[in-house]
Amino acid sequence: MMIVLYIVFGIIALIMLMQYVMIFSAKKSRGIKLNGLKGNLKKLESNDSNGLVYFFSPSCHACKAQTPVIKTLQSSYKNVYDVDISKDFNTARVFGIKATPTTIAVENGVIKQVFLGVKPKEFLEKYLRGKI
């Protein structure tokens, strides 16, 4: 019985450690100057740019909840972009994406914030309006 308990606690500890590593990794991305972007995202490299870049994967269950929120924001804001990492791994590499869904806030060509997981529309809108 004790062995099972140790295994369960070990698995829980491992999951918590993995989440901590993802959060730490995301915080390390802040302040990175963007370089090497292509297409519509190229404009985010300039010093007078800002926007949100949403990274997702079709096989990600949490992304299925976040993607409609991003699509709604894209209809109102021209500086909201989405990147399917299964089709554009190079862009995900430039941004240092380790997990999906991840939304990156870019200001003046620099990664300003990294939002991991599903975020409500209201939260992302506040960021776009400069209230966060």
pTM score above 0.85: no
- How far is C-alpha 19 from the chain's CA centre? 14
Inter-helix orientation angle 61-76/121-128, to 10°: 40
In terms of Cα–Cα distance, which of 113, 100, 132 is closest to 52?
113
Q: Which CATH number fits domain 2-128: 3.40.50.1820, 3.40.30.10, 3.40.1160.10, 3.40.50.300?
A: 3.40.30.10
Q: Is the peptide bond before 120 cis (omega within 30 degrees of 0)?
A: no
- Check residue 131 and give its pLDDT: 59
Total number of residues shown for the chain: 132
- Check residue 132 and give its pLDDT: 58
Residues of the chain scoring pLDDT < 70? 23, 26, 131-132
- Check residue 99 and give its pLDDT: 87
User: Do residues 44 and 109 lie in contact, with contact meaning Cβ atoms separated by under 8 Å?
Assistant: yes
Joined tokens for residue 76: 């109102």
